[in-house]
Amino acid sequence: MSQDLPKEANITIVVRVRPRNPREIRDNSQIVVNPVSGVRGSREVQVRYNGSDTKTFTFDKVIGPEASQQHVFYEVVSPILDEVLMGYNCTIFAYGQTGAGKTYSMEGDLQNITGEHAGIIPRTLTHLFQRLESETAEYSVRVSYIELYNEELKDLLSADDPDFRKLRIFEDFSRKGSVLIQGLEESIVKNVDDVIQIMHRGSSKRQMASTKMNESSSRSHCIFSITVHIKEATPDGEDLLKVGKLNLVDLAGSENIGRSGAESRRAKEAGMINQSLLTLGRVINALVERSPHVPYRESKLTRLLQDSLGGRTKTCILAAISPARCSLDETLSTLDYAHRAKNIRNKPEINQKMTKKALIREYISEIERLKADL
What's the CA angle centered on 100, arms 266 and 28, to 5 degrees?
A: 100
**Which phi and psi angles does 140 have, rounded to 5°?**
-145, 150
Please report, in range form, the residues annotated as the binding site for ATP: 96-103
- 308 DSSP 8-state letter: G
- DSSP helix/strand/coil, 9: strand
Spatial distance between the Cα atoms of 161 and 168, rounded to a whole number of angstroms: 18
Helices (H), 256-351: 257-260, 264-288, 300-304, 328-341
Residue 364 exposed, middle or buried by CB count within 10 Å (0-12, 13-18, 19+): exposed
The annotated binding site is made up of 96-103
Measured from the Cβ of residue 358, the count of other Cβ atoms closer than 10 Å reads 19
Give pairs for 202-209: CB < 8 Å, separation 24+: 202/145, 202/156, 202/157, 203/107, 203/110, 203/156, 205/147, 205/154, 205/156, 205/164, 206/147, 206/156, 207/147, 207/149, 207/269, 209/266, 209/269
